[in-house]
Structure 1
Amino acid sequence: MNKVWLLVLVVFCHEIFSNGVVTNISTRPAVVNVGVILSYNTHIGKVAKVSIEAAIEDVNSDPTVLAGTKINLTMQDSNYSRFLGIVQTLQFIGKDTMAIIGPLNSVTAHVISQITDELQVPLLSYLAVDPALSSLQFPFFVRTSQSDLFQMVAIAEIVDHYGWKEVTAVYVDDDYGRNGIVALGDALVEKRCKISYKAPMPPKATQDDITDILVKVALTESRIIVLHTYDDPGLVVLNVAKYLEMMNSGFVWIATNWLSTILDTDSPLASNVMDDIQGVITLRMYTPDSKLKRKFISRWSNLTGGRNANGSFGLNSYGLYAYDTVWLLAHAIDLFFNHGGDISFSNYIRSTELQGGSLNLDALNIFNGGNLLLKSILQVNMTGVTGPIEFTSDRNFINPAFEVINVIGTGFRRVGYWTNYSGLSVLSPEVLYTKPPNRSSANQRVYSVIWPGQTIQQPRVDMFNGYCIDVFTAAHGFKNRTGERTGKGSGSRTSGPTGVGPVVER
């Protein structure tokens, strides 16, 4: 499939490529080319853009990092289009780019990784968290944040901690959603639990689609619902759920870290949005407190206020990982040159039958130093704003950890931590790492949670008498209300009731 993408998509890009020039620089160059693919107008994209620009300035202003070499960063806005992301990848590769940071979703990363693998250009992504994006299938793909594999293990251990045996999974029906739920199912089986009902949502689901899906969910036995989707549709799901009385006492909603990303980026949220998410449990990638992190956070308001016409916004975990991704790559480039690497490219098309012609395939070059740069990336051992950065043998970051967050009142509170080291705990990961690992059930603990319905009583998992009739009535009323309010009926956009920004896919 990779060659098909290369042959087809280059038609759209050949006019901007140079005519197959081969570059060979045997000494440290003054400048190296790095590409970035973002979606600016998203919760994660707008934060990552500021973080990456700040990191590039910091790296290039410190001559000790790359011994005088500077990174020439070219940033492209894919406008959350998978096709544009693919085209932009080809554009970068046609301009002798030695590494690419991005994209902002796992679905695009699956396709782009086939191209970067073929042309041996490392692809570093802090947001493509799909567990199926593995180094075995995509050797030049490097994830620079925590894989969703660990987030799903954390959710499974939360489910097991409360003694629940079955969950319902509501998720976006694409690679990111499906593969995340597969990982959740595997993690639950390890705890002798299971997903009793799967409710996939179309990637562009309307409010009526979501209402119909939640009606079916309401008729299932499990009241423990895991919501794995993107930020904007996730808020729509919870808005519809509240109207269907699925945010009342007896229900449990566990949202993956799309919700904590919104809370960090857009706080304070509008009161009507906060009303929709009361009692929800969500996860946030854990980054330890440090002088480096505090210093970067202290700069944030100035960074956002000075560079964005729409004013400042909050810093989320992905922004921290985006910043560290640039530094990781800078240290890797330094190692690359220290190991004798040079910037050289050779033509991808070697067959005389394919050279020349209107497709201009001569412009696609293989990065000859790609394997050495990839090796250098995996050898980096540094401390960044997210804490210690080092890769394990399976190319995940060391010490995966999440905060367990409970949405209450006008904000949220941390009720515990999850680490791959000791499971659930109220102790911070730094404290746990000083002790022997202990995953016994007696050692698993979180603080009290305020559940949907403003109750501290742990929800029961049995059926509600009379609820089946009520949910149909509520669903019919919600569709009528939505049609009257928007004037669009079933064709209304998923972002209608929430008032938040566009979707970012992972």
Structure 2
Amino acid sequence: MKSVLVKPLRILIWVLVSGYVHCQRTGVVNIGAVYTHNSVIGRVAKVAIETAVADVNGDPSILKDTQLKLIMEDVDCNVFMGAVKAFEVLEKEVVAIIGPLSSSVAHMISMIANSFQVPLLSFAATDSSLTSLQFPFFLRTTQTDSYQMAAMAELIYYYGWQNIIAIFVDNDYGRNGISVLEEELGKRMSKISHKVALPVQFNLSSVADLLNKSKLVGSCVYVVHANPNSGLTIFSVAQHLQMMTSNYVWLATDWLSTTLDSLSLVNGTLLHILQGVVGLRQHTPESSHKNAFLSRWKEFQKRGLVRSELITYGLNAYDSVWAVARSVDEFLNEYGNVTFSHKKMGNLPQEMYKTFDGGIFLLEK
């Protein structure tokens, strides 16, 4: 009789202990951040992301006994490095990836994120061809270029400008952005007269050569859709070629305001070069949270933690971390813990990487 009672008792204890372990809430959740660190946006994003993680971990109203662990990697604005670094953070079992900045890199990492079922939140990839229809695990926490190109086309239409020349970087971001502008101009019975595609790594001589060729068209309206890190070079060359006069109209997408907003001090020479240039800026609604973060940013600058001014993409990066944290909180409240499983991924060894079992459910949060 004794052996008959002891065996069921052991089974009951094992079931209770196993159930307790299974329901225990995960103590640490890893999130990745993959982007170009040494860039106009990246320098701001790094501080914003790290601050957001610290704020989440210090807030008792969210994630309870769970801490976020940040794993950051630098892709150096390179598609190949983007893929390599994405695999590196996925190997560390992250539940979400924040970034990248580049639309070209975002295309690559989105395909990887889809395969591993890990949400990818980009706070700076504005290429409108990046959609959740093609990449279900891609989430955008910024505006697409569709908005600013519609505004740009409306501005051109309002003033009745003709001879539109588009200057853009020859990558996904540049080509697709100008394609949207072309569509928006077409809706208003206008068109782009000439396109000037700049190499991704352009220099002064290549810009000068292309601008000189565009001068043959005559007086024009130039729309510049470039990167924050190198776009100012275009205007420097244009001034040298005497193209910053009243015979020309210069318009710039939000890369210019992003560059200028990031500078703590704008020198007189730069202001002189940009005199007369009209640029667009993303709108962020005023709020007490935004003003409080701006005040904190000023303190960061005083303490030497950051040199750049706070820009819109920095706010987006900060909010992206909080979006992940709230989603993870809801996920853990419902499912209790985070698990990963080995699955066959194309030609990759099955034991090499794990997919996030709850990726689809976290995405829905």
Taking structure 1 as the reference length, the TM-score comes to 0.65
Match of 1:338 among 310, 333, 338: 333
Q: CA deviation at 1:221?
A: 4.5
Partner of 1:413: none
Secondary structure of 1:374 counterpart: helix
List alignment gaps of at least 5 residues for structure 1.
1-23, 377-506
Q: CA deviation at 1:155?
A: 0.6
Q: 1:97/1:128 Cα in 2 relative to 1: closer, same or farther (>3 Å)? A: same
> Quick one: which amino acid aligns to residue 364 of structure 2?
K
Q: Is residue 2:336 matched to residue 1:347?
A: no
Whether the 8 Å CA contact 2:32–2:96 is kept in 1: the answer is: yes
Q: CA deviation at 1:193?
A: 1.1
**Counterparts of 1:239-318 in structure 2 under 5 Å?**
239-306=236-303, 308=305, 312-318=307-313
Q: Is residue 2:41 matched to residue 1:44?
A: yes
Partner of 2:362: 373
Which one has a larger percent helix, Structure 1 or Structure 2?
A: 2
Partner of 1:187: 184
> Quick one: which amino acid aligns to residue 178 of structure 1?
R
Secondary structure of 2:351 counterpart: helix
Separation in 2, partners of 1:26, 1:133: 37
Q: CA deviation at 1:222?
A: 5.5
Whether the 8 Å CA contact 1:346–1:365 is kept in 2: the answer is: yes
Q: CA deviation at 1:339?
A: 3.6
| Structure of greater Rg | 2
Q: CA deviation at 1:81?
A: 3.1
- Over the aligned positions, Cα root-mean-square deviation in angstroms equals 1.8
**Counterparts of 1:149-228 in structure 2 under 5 Å?**
149-221=146-218, 223-228=220-225
> Quick one: which amino acid aligns to residue 161 of structure 1?
Y
Partner of 2:16: none
Once the two structures are superposed, what CA deviation does each residue of 1:297-318 show, in whole Å capped at 9, x if it has no partner?
A: 111122244464xx62211111
> Quick one: which amino acid aligns to residue 79 of structure 1?
D
Separation in 2, partners of 1:238, 1:170: 11
Separation in 2, partners of 1:25, 1:348: 21
List alignment gaps of at least 5 residues for structure 2.
1-20
Partner of 1:133: 130
> Quick one: which amino acid aligns to residue 247 of structure 2?
G
Secondary structure of 1:219 counterpart: helix
Whether the 8 Å CA contact 2:40–2:229 is kept in 1: the answer is: no
Partner of 1:381: none
Q: CA deviation at 1:165?
A: 4.1
Secondary structure of 1:63 counterpart: coil
> Quick one: which amino acid aligns to residue 317 of structure 1?
T
Percent identity of equivalent pairs: 43
Once the two structures are superposed, what CA deviation does each residue of 1:139-180 show, in whole Å capped at 9, x if it has no partner?
A: 111010111111111111111111224411000001110000
Partner of 1:503: none
Secondary structure of 1:314 counterpart: coil
**Counterparts of 1:408-423 in structure 2 under 5 Å?**
none
> Quick one: which amino acid aligns to residue 84 of structure 2?
V
Q: 1:148/1:350 Cα in 2 relative to 1: closer, same or farther (>3 Å)? A: closer
Whether the 8 Å CA contact 1:167–1:222 is kept in 2: the answer is: no
* Number of matched pairs: 345
Q: Is residue 2:320 matched to residue 1:325?
A: yes
Q: 1:25/1:102 Cα in 2 relative to 1: closer, same or farther (>3 Å)? A: farther
Taking structure 2 as the reference length, the TM-score comes to 0.90
Partner of 2:55: 58
